[in-house]
Amino acid sequence: MAPLPRVRPYTALLNRVRAVAERDASWVLSEIARLQYPPDRYPLLALRMPARQGAPHLSVSAGIHGDEPAGVEAVLRFLESDLPRAAALDLTVLPCQNPSGHAHDTRFNGDGLDLNRQFDKPGSPTQETLALRPFLLRRLPDLVVECHEDADADGFYVWEVRRPGRPEIGRTVVERVAAAQAVTAARVIEGCFVTEGVAHPTAERIARIGGWSHTYFLLRNGTPHCLTPETPASRPFEARVDAHLTTLRTALEVLSQRTVLSPE
């Protein structure tokens, strides 16, 4: 495959992530893979902030589709803020799971594959999911927030899957986002029912899209609660970033059972 034209330098993202770890030693930075797309190589980075034993574990991720930059930017701003330390949670953060796609502003990875359809394939040809699958299984989160964008959406919405007994989070997220921007009016998205901005995925939808996503992989392996916020790509970039940050703040608040203040 011929190299794609470069759109945004991945080095800028790397520098911001590494600066977070250098500024705050509570973060453990690891390179879980060195992705090879000649002539380019991309470090696939993860950060972990361990907490006290028994603390809830939150996993935050973005950028599995490289043309969805608002989630990546929101996760970077989350890392750069005081929110993680204030929450006192066990945190795992994957700021950008598709570095080559992010660098070239394309949904797919450097081999033209959709990473979010590869997590049910142990022998997947994608370098990214071969590294991500064992990494994600090392310690399953109590809640995963996986940031996405939707080119066809008329407003913000969030996919939510939770096991019985888990508190609902999606409705609170939607109410808070709705205070500042439009929420989808859709009643059905991709064949699934939507209730006031909260979409409810079904087994039929998962089978229809042709492979497991990041969140469904974790759900099938024991994670009890998954949130996937979707920001409409037609909205201004800052509004989309704010919606993702609202989702992350709400997730922190619910898990920590106390109010987490926004960064200044």
Continuous segment of H or E residues that includes residue 129: helix 127-137
**CA–CA distance, 248 with 60 (Å, rounded to integer):** 8
The predicted model scores a pTM of 0.93
**CA–CA distance, 82 with 249 (Å, rounded to integer):** 11
Note whether 32 and 99 are within 8 A (CB).
Answer: no
The CATH fold of domain 10-256: Aminopeptidase (3.40.630)
- SS3 of 32, please? strand
Spatial CA neighbour of 151 closest among 109, 97, 190: 190
Per-residue pLDDT of the chain (264 residues; tens, 9 = 90+): 555 666 889 999 999 999 999 999 999 999 999 999 999 999 999 999 998 888 999 999 999 999 999 999 999 999 999 999 888 899 999 999 999 999 999 999 999 999 999 999 888 899 999 999 999 999 999 999 999 999 999 999 999 999 998 989 999 999 999 999 999 999 999 889 999 999 998 777 766 777 899 999 999 999 999 999 999 999 999 999 999 999 999 999 999 874 343 333
**Domain positions in the chain:** 10-256
